[in-house]
Amino acid sequence: MVTTAERSDGKGQVIRFHLNQPVDSFQVYQPDVDLIQMTLYQDNIDTADIQLPNISSAFDEISFYDIPSGIGIDIYITEDKFYDGKAYHDGNSDDLLLGLTELDKTELEYLTKDTEPIIWSSFTITEKNLLEGNGDDGNTAENTDYDQTRNKMKFDVVVIDPGHGGHDPGSIGHRNVKEKDIVLDISKKVGDYINEYMPNVKVVYTRETDKFIELEERGSIANEAEGDLFISIHCNSHTSHQPYGTELYFLGLERSESALEVMKRENKVVRANNDTEQRELSQEELLVYELANSSYIAASEQIAGMMEYQFDERAQRHSRGVKQGRFVVLYHASMPAVLIETGFISNPSEARYLTSDRGQTYIASAIFRAIRNFKEGNGNP
Ligand SMILES: [Zn+2]
């Protein structure tokens, strides 16, 4: 059983794990400002016996997972609270205490930046695989290193595609801001975040300068790089100044009316002599793609949903939703692929936001967090 209490000095919380025998070992990880994870190793612990406490306002959720010889615990902290977690044995009982001390947000962000969340299901998968194996007695499960398991999950190349470029400016927005310039700035910020916080992931750009690249060529660059995720970054536009907000697209047969407008624009190729060519994917091409890439499509929809969550909930942008569309640029990348409309540069206030360093930082960090969560396989929603 677990109880929680406010610290007597009001500067934190204490979670008490009521145990009938001391744990063999325990460890606390803090992979994010809103997540504290623990492992408790003791053979007789059964998560079915653990009762959840009445969650206080400091916690969003506490969950338990069975892992070999112990349990894993996720403690989600309420959004506006920032705690440093440390665990210790209670001197008067077998209980284990987790002390949460209030900490400054920036300090906590610094402390958590190099820690990756533990994927509890990776323990379970390993355990199962060993049981299904060649009659092995399963002892190696004890030595299962979470890092070893994780290393097998390949996700090491992200391809970032800044839309348009060169003689193709993309949409022209309020005060003549150009889509091609904004999306290049945002793309580089996303790449910088990945390089800094996910050093094991390689970033490949389809363009790093103001140069024109064909839609098919962008997919080829991604395929040659053996990308695990393709992200095409764009800005939206409308004849009215009113519309605003982000949109996420992944390749598919279904399409809405609004998707049609965006597709026309993003599938348009501007030639050097200013002629334009309108590309379209046929129903048959799409069907073939869906059959061959159903797992990519599912993953694309998942990452699109995770980005929408980050834009809407974390970056406080208005999300216009996740949609399907026949985008040529996505069709040629053989990997999970999404197209992001980061906002309407035809809307004066959104144009200002998207050209500001602050706005670009918000958008890029939201995209980065979704990529990180996608890699860890623990996404919202
Ligand atoms: Zn575009």
The H-or-E segment that residue 40 falls in is: strand 35-41
Helix %, strand %, coil % of the chain (to 5): 35, 30, 35
Peptide bond into 381 cis (omega under 30): yes
132 found inside a domain:
no
Question: Of 118, 143, 171, which residue constitutes the final position of a domain?
Answer: 118
Question: Which residues are registered as beta bridge partners of 27?
Answer: 39
148 found inside a domain:
no
Name the token pair of 72: 């894993």
| pLDDT digit string, tens, across residues 304-340 | 999 999 998 878 889 999 998 889 999 989 899 999 9
Q: How far is the CA of 168 from the centre of ligand 1 (A)?
A: 10
Statement to judge: residues 172 and 282 lie in one domain: yes
User: Whole-model pTM?
Assistant: 0.60
pLDDT score of 48 = 58
Q: What is the CATH number of the domain that holds 293?
A: 3.40.630.40
The H-or-E segment that residue 29 falls in is: strand 25-32
- Residue 134 clears pLDDT 70, i.e. is over it: no
pLDDT score of 204 = 98
Q: How far is the CA of 43 from the centre of ligand 1 (A)?
A: 56
Which is it for strands 246-251 and 157-162: parallel, antiparallel or unpaired? unpaired
Statement to judge: residues 165 and 94 lie in one domain: no
How many angstroms separate the CA atoms of 167 and 307, rounded? 30
Mean residue pLDDT of the chain comes to 82
Give 131 or 368, the one with higher predicted confidence.
Answer: 368
Statement to judge: residues 33 and 97 lie in one domain: yes
Question: Of 118, 136, 168, which residue constitutes the final position of a domain?
Answer: 118
How many angstroms separate the CA atoms of 79 and 61, rounded? 11
Statement to judge: residues 102 and 234 lie in one domain: no
Statement to judge: residues 107 and 173 lie in one domain: no
Q: Which range has the worst mean pLDDT, 69-78, 93-102, 207-216, 359-368?
A: 93-102
Q: How far is the CA of 210 from the centre of ligand 1 (A)?
A: 14
233 near 366, Cβ under 8 Å?
Answer: no
Confidence of residue 55 (pLDDT cuts 50, 70, 90): low
Name the token pair of 302: 């998942």
pLDDT score of 269 = 81
Relative orientation angle of helices 179-197 and 357-376, to the nearest 10 degrees: 50
How many angstroms separate the CA atoms of 317 and 117, rounded? 26
Q: Which class for 130: exposed (0-12), middle (13-18), buried (19 or more C-beta within 10 A)?
A: middle
How many angstroms separate the CA atoms of 104 and 340, rounded? 33
Q: How far is the CA of 184 from the centre of ligand 1 (A)?
A: 11
144 found inside a domain:
no
110 found inside a domain:
yes
Question: Of 70, 99, 118, which residue constitutes the final position of a domain?
Answer: 118
Q: How far is the CA of 162 from the centre of ligand 1 (A)?
A: 9
143 found inside a domain:
no
pLDDT score of 314 = 78
Statement to judge: residues 187 and 83 lie in one domain: no
pLDDT score of 152 = 34
171 near 236, Cβ under 8 Å?
Answer: yes
Q: How far is the CA of 301 from the centre of ligand 1 (A)?
A: 20
CA dihedral (10, 52, 116, 190) in degrees, to 10, reads: -80
Statement to judge: residues 108 and 162 lie in one domain: no
Statement to judge: residues 171 and 267 lie in one domain: yes
Radius of gyration over every alpha carbon of the chain, rounded to an integer in angstroms: 24
Q: What is the CATH number of the domain that holds 33?
A: 2.60.40.3500
Q: Which class for 159: exposed (0-12), middle (13-18), buried (19 or more C-beta within 10 A)?
A: buried
Which is it for strands 202-205 and 157-162: parallel, antiparallel or unpaired? parallel
Statement to judge: residues 185 and 274 lie in one domain: yes
Q: Domain span at residue 27?
A: 2-118
- Residue 57 clears pLDDT 50, i.e. is over it: yes
Statement to judge: residues 113 and 186 lie in one domain: no
CA dihedral (197, 374, 60, 322) in degrees, to 10, reads: 120
End-to-end, the C-alpha distance of the chain in Å comes to: 29
150 found inside a domain:
no
Confidence of residue 56 (pLDDT cuts 50, 70, 90): low
How many angstroms separate the CA atoms of 35 and 22, rounded? 25
Which amino acid type is present at position 49?
D
Q: How far is the CA of 197 from the centre of ligand 1 (A)?
A: 27
- Residue 125 clears pLDDT 90, i.e. is over it: no
| pLDDT digit string, tens, across residues 140-197 | 333 333 333 333 347 899 999 999 999 999 999 999 999 999 999 999 999 999 999 9
146 found inside a domain:
no
138 found inside a domain:
no
Task: Domain count for the chain, please give it.
Answer: 2
- Residue 20 clears pLDDT 90, i.e. is over it: no
Among 46-50, 185-189, 321-325, 368-372, the range with the most confident prediction by mean pLDDT is 185-189
Q: How far is the CA of 341 from the centre of ligand 1 (A)?
A: 8
Statement to judge: residues 206 and 313 lie in one domain: yes
Q: How far is the CA of 355 from the centre of ligand 1 (A)?
A: 15
Statement to judge: residues 88 and 214 lie in one domain: no
| pLDDT digit string, tens, across residues 210-236 | 999 999 999 999 999 999 999 999 999
How many angstroms separate the CA atoms of 170 and 266, rounded? 8
Give 200 or 124, the one with higher predicted confidence.
Answer: 200
How many angstroms separate the CA atoms of 35 and 372, rounded? 14
